[in-house]
Amino acid sequence: MHYQLHIQLKNLNNRSSSVLIILGIGLLCSFNVTVRHIRNIKSGKLHPKIVNIVNFIRLLEPRDSAVTEEVLYETVVKQVATMKKYKLGGTFLLQYDALLDPRYQKLLKSLSRDSFEIGAWWEIPQPLVEKAGLKWRGRYPWDWRANIGFSTGYTPAEREKLVDVYMSDFKKIFGYYPKSVGSWFIDAHTLNYLYKKYKIVASCNCKDQYGTDGYTLWGGYWNQAYYSSKINSYMPAQHERNQVAVPVFRMLGSDPVRQYDNELGTGRQGVITLEPVYPDAGGDSAWVNWYFKEFINGSDMEYAYVQAGQENSFTWKAMAKGFQMQMALIACLRDEKKLKVETLAQSGQWFKEHYKVTPATSVTVTKDLKGSDNKTVWFDSRFYRANLLWEKGTLRFRDIHLFNENFPSVYTNEKATSNECSFFTLPFVDGYAWSAPGKIAGLRFKNIVDGKEVLMKGGNPAITDSIAGKLRISWPLESLKDTLVIDIDEQQIKMKLEGVESVTWFLDLTTDDNAKLPFKKIISTRVDCEFEGMKYPVKAVKGAFSKLNSGVFRITPHNNTLILNLAAGKL
């Protein structure tokens, strides 16, 4: 994936020597868990911190003649050896052409089933299409275009044939059906068919991204895992009866602070993730130390999750430094019982046993990388997602997207007609798509000082998740004796200013002038929205909306309290 960035891999930054990597491991493994973490241990309510090491395997790489089948195979051999060195299990997902290769069969059959899982990587190569009796339309034996190399490029009946062929051959080779099937994106029809006929227990899809590789997955359940709607594999369902009973885990470990705004205004994001090939992220020991510290100490509400590992297309030469460093770090943290390493199927089974519907979870960063004071909160539930960003002492909602299981994806029943692919949810605040360089969209917190509207400023927020299903943020305001308290649950966000001073405050939504906005009607009690034919409201349970002359709308609290109902998917 992210092949347009392969050029960067030729210039990998080697500034972190092996000595620095070792020092980084020591620093990471010795960092203190927070008081909250210790308290949860004592109360028996410790939220699991789950790491899946998922490496998926392609037989060939037509985009680079230097990446031969032998290079790809040796990459997997090195991954296996490194994981064994640190006694780490994990998941290897096989594309169909790699499944048929005797070298991969022998290598993967030699792995202990107690530690390693073999599953399916659902990109569609030529041998699978032709064995299913279909015509291959690709430029190469594997073609990554959305209408050729993915299930979205085939009719529902054709998808079932592709699944049946793969599963039959997998069972002939390994003696059982795989429990996990992953891909950058799988349509809902295929996902449900895999569950009903072959009883898979887990799936995974790409992180949120805009335009990268021609694939847009935007506005979804940002991290951890969710149950999708039966008519839209990217949309979390609100009710058990309308969901595919397979948890879909989000891949790659996005930077919670920087990934969202990366290359803002270009319509095609870059990549800042845990993937070990990226020298300023997953390949950098300082970034990885920071990521795992926030991962372990952060407020997650239920559990924390991240997928480590790398596709073999990037080659061992490009990923070796980052991969080895990360495996050492993960093993160290596992030994100190700060996280647990599972296969994808194990995590899927655990999720199914604990959650009948998608739970509310969060990802938080309270201390950013050196040189930055940014902080962020990602909240996800079966009804909506929201992102708060603190920057230079100010606060804004960078993103709010609503979920509705009745919002269909065209790919559920129709073939993709383009070489690109797009999955969306329902926007209410979109700080990426509604921005332009120099004019960053967001729902900003403001107050009145000396008769002037200014951005509200404050100190370091305190974030707690001690009450099940609720996330509380307490933000002390600068030069005031007041604190803004934000309570978030699966259906609504409550904001209240607590203190002794009389403060006039509100939230203003501003966007780029050319942004395509979904707002159809703004009245005091609600905003009526429409996106791709779906109508949905956002209601002010307490407080009021009003139109702005310079901007989109303002939300004004009532008696210092503002409550927004974001359960657009509630029936």
Confidence (pLDDT) at 22:
40
Q: Taking the C-alpha atoms of 421, 423, 428 and 434 in order, what is their torsion angle to the nearest 10 degrees? A: -20
Domain boundaries, the chain: 3-363, 382-565
Confidence (pLDDT) at 26:
47
**β-pair partners for 57:** 94
Confidence of residue 525 (pLDDT cuts 50, 70, 90): very high
Lowest-pLDDT choice from 262-266, 390-394, 499-503: 499-503
Confidence (pLDDT) at 20:
37
CB burial string 88-114: b at 16+ within 10 A, e below? bbbbbbbbbbbbbbeebbebbeebeee
CA angle 288, 122, 117 (to 5 degrees): 60
Confidence of residue 211 (pLDDT cuts 50, 70, 90): confident
d(CA 125, CA 190): 16
The pLDDT of residue 49 is above 90:
yes
Confidence (pLDDT) at 23:
42
Confidence (pLDDT) at 14:
34
Residue 389 in contact with residue 373, Cβ under 8 Å?
no
- The rounded mean pLDDT for the chain is 91
Confidence (pLDDT) at 502:
76
The pLDDT of residue 280 is above 50:
yes
Note the pLDDT tens digit of each residue in 159-189: 999 999 999 999 999 999 999 999 999 999 9
Confidence (pLDDT) at 17:
34
The pLDDT of residue 18 is above 70:
no
Confidence (pLDDT) at 15:
31
Confidence (pLDDT) at 30:
53
The pLDDT of residue 373 is above 70:
yes
Paired tokens of 530:
């429409």
The H or E element containing residue 60 is none
Lowest-pLDDT choice from 275-284, 471-480, 557-566: 471-480
Residue 387 in contact with residue 377, Cβ under 8 Å?
yes
Note the pLDDT tens digit of each residue in 307-325: 999 999 999 999 999 999 9
What percent of the chain lies above the pLDDT cut of 70? 91
What percent of the chain lies above the pLDDT cut of 90? 83
Note the pLDDT tens digit of each residue in 286-306: 999 999 999 999 999 999 999
State the CB neighbour count (10 A cutoff) for residue 324: 18
State the CB neighbour count (10 A cutoff) for residue 438: 7
The pLDDT of residue 59 is above 60:
yes
Q: Which fold has domain 3-363?
A: TIM Barrel (3.20.20)
Over residues 14-24, the mean pLDDT reads: 37
Over residues 334-348, the mean pLDDT reads: 97
Over residues 240-263, the mean pLDDT reads: 96
Q: What secondary structure does DSSP assign to 293-335, as a single string?
A: HHHHHS--TT-EEEEE---GGG-HHHHHHHHHHHHHHHHHHHH
Note the pLDDT tens digit of each residue in 415-474: 888 888 899 999 999 999 999 988 999 999 999 988 899 999 999 999 999 999 999 999
Residue bearing the bigger pLDDT, 318 or 502: 318
Over residues 204-221, the mean pLDDT reads: 91
- Nearest-CA neighbor of 278 among 242, 306, 308? 308
The pLDDT of residue 8 is above 70:
no
- Residue 451 makes CB contacts below 8 A (sequence gap 6+) with none
Q: Which fold has domain 382-565?
A: Beta-galactosidase; Chain A, domain 5 (2.70.98)
- Nearest-CA neighbor of 556 among 467, 446, 477? 446
The pLDDT of residue 6 is above 70:
no
d(CA 503, CA 568): 31
